[in-house]
Structure 1
Amino acid sequence: MSIIYLESKDNAKIKHLRALIELNNYRKKHGQTILEGTHLCLAWLHSHKIASLFTTESALEHIDLKKIQQLYSGHIFILSEVLYRDLSTLGTTLPCIAVIDTPKLDQSINFNIDTLILDDVQDPGNVGTLLRSAAAANIKQIICTKGVASIWSPRVLRAGMGAHFALHCFENIDLQDVISNFKIPVYVTSSHEPQSLYAQDLTTPCAWILGNEGQGASNYALKHAQAVTIPQPGGQESLNVAIAGSICFFEMVRQRQ
């Protein structure tokens, strides 16, 4: 492990890091993304490698950075406090940004296991929260259609709090190419359907389709999956998609206990 000081914002390493933070197309082109914060970095290092690490001189002595250094053998790039704050998306947390290679799946979609299908869910916070809830409910497979926020973007990674690392995530999938292949029940949430979530038998594997924040489930999903609603005696028109998904997942967990 070596320590290298970077002082200029025009340094090639800094430009590369900034582009990974800000530009989705750049991340895809280079097959890399960033993790910010010691929690995500430590979770990742338990089973993966970090390509490079950026922090500040004062942060090096923090116990969490010491733990990372024990697991990481590459270059540590030291930035000034001002330059780090200019790059950071988290603000006041302990300075720690890691560049990682975006994982490449070496398997195909399994149409017989619990699955979360995100159909045009665009808010990174919602996507990350849904991945976190899915992982907690032991749903391991995630399918994302083309309109979904990039799974490996820094904002989704931050909201997921490390859930990504336990999941198999398929991106840019056409819903019409997969939905008919499932050998298990496929449910789609809708606030306008009479079938209650709580009337379903969720004790065997199933797939969940969750739709766009504003428009809800697509017509195709509603036509080709079993629509269910979450009873809302308080009379609200709809629930946040991440809340709705989490309720569905843990009703499934409850029935299987």
Structure 2
Amino acid sequence: MSIIYLESKDNPKIKHIRALTEQASYRKKQQQTILEGTHLCLAWLEASRPIKSLFTTEAALQHLDIEKIQTLYTGHIFILSEVLYRDLSTLGTSLPCLAVIDLPRHQHAIDFNQDTLILDGVQDPGNVGTLLRSAAAANIKQILCTPAVSSIWSPRVLRAGMGAHFSLFCFEQVDLSRVLPQFNIPVYVTSSHQSKSLYSEDLTQPCVWILGNEGQGASEYALEHAQAIAIPQPGGQESLNVAIAGSICLFEMVRQRQITA
């Protein structure tokens, strides 16, 4: 391991980080993304996945979390000034720790008999990351995303997911009309305009969950080709945040399965 000091904001590595942070098209072209924060970097390394390059500050280098990362990482550590790191960071006052990684490439095909979460136009990175986190906690491993969904591997979604990505198989740019007819298990879509209650469904067997856009809800195709359900809201609110609604559905599934286990 070697330590290299970078001082100029015009250094190619600094420009590379900035582009990966800000531009989805650049991430796609380079097939790389950014992990920021010691929690994500440690989770990635502990999953036996390699970091391409690591950036921090001289003051942070002696922190216990950075030292732990150094025991798992064998590449170059690039030291930035406090000012330069803050200019790159999107996390504010957290411990300086930023890593460049290659986007994962898995060889798995979609399993049409497996519990699945489908994100249908969910655009807010925080909602996407939260739903991935809830899916991982509920032991759903397969995630399908339609083209309008916020980029799964963007730094903002990664932060919201808190490492959930690393245990999931995520498929992006999925055409719902092509994959939905192939599922051999029940398919549910959340809709605040449906009277059929979530709690009336038998969720003890594998199933598919479709969660739609924050404003418009699920697509017409999803509503026409899946069983629409609603979460009872006796308080009379018009709708729930999609991440909250999705989490309620997933953990009602978990509850029913624990009862019958």
TM-score class, shorter:
over 0.9
User: What SS class does the counterpart of residue 172 from structure 2 fall into?
Assistant: strand
Partner of 2:125: 124
Unaligned runs of 5+ in 1: none
User: What SS class does the counterpart of residue 173 from structure 2 fall into?
Assistant: strand
1:181-216 deviation digits (Å, cap 9, x = unpaired): 000000000001111000000000000000000001
Is it true that 1:167 corresponds to 2:174 in the alignment?
Answer: no
User: What SS class does the counterpart of residue 173 from structure 1 fall into?
Assistant: coil
* Equivalent-residue separation in structure 2 for 1:62 and 1:248 (angstroms): 40
Aligned-pair CA distance for 1:137: 0.3
* Equivalent-residue separation in structure 2 for 1:105 and 1:118 (angstroms): 19
Aligned-pair CA distance for 1:105: 1.8
* Equivalent-residue separation in structure 2 for 1:139 and 1:210 (angstroms): 14
Aligned-pair CA distance for 1:218: 1.0
Partner of 1:6: 6
* Equivalent-residue separation in structure 2 for 1:25 and 1:217 (angstroms): 26
Aligned-pair CA distance for 1:180: 0.5
CA-based RMSD: 0.4
Is it true that 1:176 corresponds to 2:177 in the alignment?
Answer: yes
Partner of 1:232: 233
Partner of 2:147: 146
Is it true that 1:196 corresponds to 2:197 in the alignment?
Answer: yes
* Equivalent-residue separation in structure 2 for 1:23 and 1:217 (angstroms): 27
Q: Which amino acid aligns with 1:94?
A: L
* Equivalent-residue separation in structure 2 for 1:177 and 1:34 (angstroms): 32
Q: Which amino acid aligns with 2:110?
A: I
* Equivalent-residue separation in structure 2 for 1:90 and 1:192 (angstroms): 38
* Equivalent-residue separation in structure 2 for 1:177 and 1:123 (angstroms): 25
Task: Output aligned runs, 1:26-37, within 5 Å.
Answer: 26-37=26-37
Aligned-pair CA distance for 1:217: 1.2
Partner of 2:18: 18
User: What SS class does the counterpart of residue 171 from structure 2 fall into?
Assistant: strand
* Equivalent-residue separation in structure 1 for 2:40 and 2:166 (angstroms): 10
User: What SS class does the counterpart of residue 188 from structure 2 fall into?
Assistant: strand
* Equivalent-residue separation in structure 2 for 1:237 and 1:105 (angstroms): 40
Q: Which amino acid aligns with 1:31?
A: Q
Paired positions, count:
257
Aligned-pair CA distance for 1:49: 0.4
Is it true that 1:45 corresponds to 2:45 in the alignment?
Answer: yes
Task: Output aligned runs, 1:57-96, within 5 Å.
Answer: 57-96=58-97
Aligned-pair CA distance for 1:111: 0.4
Q: Which amino acid aligns with 1:162?
A: G
Aligned-pair CA distance for 1:3: 0.4
* Equivalent-residue separation in structure 1 for 2:192 and 2:34 (angstroms): 37
1:61-99 deviation digits (Å, cap 9, x = unpaired): 000000000000000000000000000000100000000
* Equivalent-residue separation in structure 1 for 2:176 and 2:106 (angstroms): 19
* Equivalent-residue separation in structure 2 for 1:74 and 1:21 (angstroms): 21
1:230-257 deviation digits (Å, cap 9, x = unpaired): 0000000000000000000000000000
Aligned-pair CA distance for 1:107: 1.2
Q: Which amino acid aligns with 1:201?
A: D
- TM-score, normalisation: structure 2: 0.98
- TM-score, normalisation: structure 1: 1.00
* Equivalent-residue separation in structure 2 for 1:217 and 1:144 (angstroms): 12
Partner of 1:254: 255
* Equivalent-residue separation in structure 2 for 1:91 and 1:212 (angstroms): 29
Q: Which amino acid aligns with 1:90?
A: L
* Equivalent-residue separation in structure 2 for 1:157 and 1:17 (angstroms): 15
